[in-house]
Amino acid sequence: MSLKVYNTATRSLDTFEPLENGRATVYACGPTIYNHAHIGNFRTFLFFDLVHRYLEWSGYDVRFVMNLTDVDDKVIEAADAARTSISDHTGPFGEIFLDDCRTLGVRPVDRYPRATHYIGPMVDFIERLVARGHAYAADDGAVYFSIASFPTYGRLKGIDTSTLMAGARVEQDEYEKEDARDFALWKPATEMDERVGAAWDSPWGRGRPGWHLECSVMSTAELGETLDMHLGGEDLIFPHHENEIAQSEGATGKPFVRHWMHVKHLFVEGRKMSKSLGNFIRVRELLEEGYDPAAIRHLLISSHYRGDLNFTRAGLEGSRAAVQRLLDFETRLAGVTVDAMAEASELPGLAEEARAAFRVAMDADFNSADALAAVFRFVSGVNAALDRRDAVRPADRDSALDALRSMDQVLGLLEVARAARSVDDDLAAWVEQKIEERAAARADRDFATADAIRQELAARNIVLEDGSGGTRWKVVS
């Protein structure tokens, strides 16, 4: 089975066919770093990570680029309100975003281009559009893209431009409604732009690029004139991605993107995220509340990216339990009694079946919900098989462990959970000492002291498990 993706441009499931066999170029619209990213954003960014991981897992040589927008209307207004420059304002937010990505297990991409580093290429790009008859300079120093010059404008969103009013213009980066009007490629500098360092020299005078132009220039500069995949949130389909297509194809004369993919919005406690409701939640707020990074990751990838996802704290508790189940399963597998003379077990067959079901799910438009279901069916099947046996062959055990860890290379749950639960040597030595003290107290039938030690460990998220082989311990969220 080959990878199929829902292509927004064709409104159908298409077989993924990169321009170059075995190689995939992917561009993802990253955050505008004027403020903190919220969990709605991170649903999108974790989908980007699944795409990145799965393409690599499937053997593609992946070149993945995600921009960090550091100049647009929102950035300029925020920097001016803070009485600082756009570089000083966006710098810390960019670092916080990347730190949150690391916490949630988002693999680093090849490049994180920032718009302010591409001003020269943006000016060159506009000049090409003017020369090809797709753009024109206005009297006020702005340069606009002419929608009328691009007959296929609107095909991504399905907008009818037959009633287009020639020369009607949009000056802001985002449209007030779904209309089609000439949009700014270059904007004349205002006093606010100059104050915050968002103005550059150009053939049309001092000014700055339009938001839509930035991604066209950065993506083609980093990945070439035709991209295999372009990813983003569903809110970017129009006008942002529509305008990217017009600009890019107008400048190059080549198809811009082979596969467009868009992530659906997130709901919080059954309500759409909005400023008026005040239900924007940051990753760090959840961490401060004591939630596990792996649980956050699990919840945000637990639903298919084109389906609804309702983010609740009750759901986070369920995700915490799911992640702990995976950790416990891995620990059980790693510690199972092995015997080269044991009877052949069902484990290799279960492992092969799980890998196949996992691949089928992910090949079906990155269906992470079905992929997770395949993993947990595997967990149940292997646990049941182990319950019936005193020992398994080493190769059987290894086949099951390899399957689990292979699938987690895509899901990233065990990876993030281990990182969050890692302990240094001093803590490990303290835990072992406490276990010895508890064992001594129990031997003396001093159960009050033994219970107090257990509670002391629990306060540090250390859980004890007493068994025939002694006491084991683990870190939980």
Question: Given this model, what pLDDT does residue 176 score?
Answer: 55
Q: What residue spans of 234-312 are helical by DSSP H? A: 242-252, 283-288, 293-301
If you average pLDDT over every residue of the chain, what do you get?
92
pLDDT surpassing 60 at residue 166: no
Question: Given this model, what pLDDT does residue 177 score?
Answer: 52
- Of 157, 152, 153, 154, which is closest to residue 235 (Cα–Cα)? 157
Are the CB atoms for 62 and 55 separated by under 8 Å? yes
Question: Given this model, what pLDDT does residue 168 score?
Answer: 73
Instruction: Tell me the one-letter amino acid at 368.
Output: S
Domain 311-421 CATH class label? mainly alpha
Which CATH superfamily includes the segment(s) 4-263? Answer: HUPs (3.40.50.620)
Average pLDDT of the residues in 316-326: 97
* Residue 191 burial class via C-beta count within 10 angstroms: exposed 0-12, middle 13-18, buried 19 and up: exposed
Taking the C-alpha atoms of residue 173 and residue 160, their distance in angstroms, rounded to an integer, is 21
Split at pLDDT 50, 70, 90, the class of 40 is very high
Across the chain, how many H-helices and E-strands are there?
16, 16
Using DSSP's 3-state secondary structure scheme, residue 239 falls into: helix
Question: Given this model, what pLDDT does residue 107 score?
Answer: 98
More confident residue, 74 or 428: 74
Question: Given this model, what pLDDT does residue 447 score?
Answer: 78
Question: Given this model, what pLDDT does residue 188 score?
Answer: 96
Taking the C-alpha atoms of residue 414 and residue 426, their distance in angstroms, rounded to an integer, is 23
Average pLDDT of the residues in 229-233: 98
Are the CB atoms for 26 and 51 separated by under 8 Å? yes
pLDDT surpassing 80 at residue 469: no
Q: Report DSSP state, residue 141.
A: S
pLDDT surpassing 90 at residue 73: yes
Question: Given this model, what pLDDT does residue 477 score?
Answer: 63
**Token pair of 175, please?**
């449209």
What's the angle, vertex CA 275, arms to CA 270 and CA 276, rounded to 5? Answer: 80
Are the CB atoms for 172 and 160 separated by under 8 Å? no
Contacts of 59 (CB under 8 A, 6+ apart): 22
Taking the C-alpha atoms of residue 442 and residue 52, their distance in angstroms, rounded to an integer, is 51
Using DSSP's 3-state secondary structure scheme, residue 307 falls into: coil
Average pLDDT of the residues in 342-368: 98
Convert the pLDDT of each residue in 121-147 to its tens digit.
Answer: 999 999 999 999 999 999 889 999 999
Are the CB atoms for 396 and 348 separated by under 8 Å? yes
**Token pair of 143, please?**
């340069």
Taking the C-alpha atoms of residue 5 and residue 416, their distance in angstroms, rounded to an integer, is 27
Average pLDDT of the residues in 395-414: 98
Q: What is the pTM of this model?
A: 0.90
Q: Which residues face 11 on adjacent strands?
A: none
Dihedral pair phi/psi, residue 70, rounded to 5°: -120, 10
Which of 40-54, 101-115, 188-202, 463-477 is the least confident region? Answer: 463-477
**Token pair of 222, please?**
């980093």
pLDDT surpassing 70 at residue 1: no
pLDDT surpassing 70 at residue 175: no
pLDDT surpassing 90 at residue 305: yes
pLDDT surpassing 90 at residue 361: yes
Question: Which residue in the block uniquely carries the two structure tokens 């945000």?
Answer: 300
* Residue 57 burial class via C-beta count within 10 angstroms: exposed 0-12, middle 13-18, buried 19 and up: middle
pLDDT surpassing 70 at residue 474: no
Question: Given this model, what pLDDT does residue 437 score?
Answer: 81
What is Dmax (Cα atoms) for the chain? 92
Average pLDDT of the residues in 330-350: 96
pLDDT surpassing 60 at residue 381: yes
Question: Given this model, what pLDDT does residue 78 score?
Answer: 97
Taking the C-alpha atoms of residue 247 and residue 122, their distance in angstroms, rounded to an integer, is 11
What is the sign, positive or negative, of the torsion defined by CA atoms of 412, 413, 418, 420?
positive
pLDDT surpassing 90 at residue 460: no
Q: What residue spans of 289-424 are helical by DSSP H? A: 293-301, 313-335, 347-363, 368-387, 394-411, 413-421
Q: Report DSSP state, residue 197.
A: T
Split at pLDDT 50, 70, 90, the class of 445 is confident
Average pLDDT of the residues in 67-81: 97
pLDDT surpassing 60 at residue 178: no
Average pLDDT of the residues in 68-90: 97
Q: Where are the domains of the chain?
A: 4-263, 311-421, 425-475
How many residues make up the chain in this entry?
477
Question: Given this model, what pLDDT does residue 421 score?
Answer: 84
